Amino acid sequence: MSASCPSCRRGNDPAARFCQHCGAGLVPRRCGSCGQEAVAAAKFCSHCGAGLGRNEIGR
């Protein structure tokens, strides 16, 4: 079973954190403003609209 990349849609190892084909993140992240889980490729939170830039991601 392979994990599909949200950016390029190619298959990756299920344990991969980044796509081996395009380098996109495969691990879901959380919005730093509201805590909502967001897909790795998201640029904005689908719940509150906050930007999910590199410095704005909650861990």
3-state secondary structure 1-58: CCEECCCCCCEECCCCCECCCCCCECCCEEECCCCCEECCCCCECCCCCCECCHHHEE
pLDDT value at residue 54: 63
pLDDT value at residue 7: 87
Q: What is the pTM of this model?
A: 0.58
pLDDT value at residue 1: 58
pLDDT in tens, 2-58: 789 988 999 999 999 999 999 988 888 899 999 999 987 789 999 999 999 864 444
pLDDT value at residue 30: 92
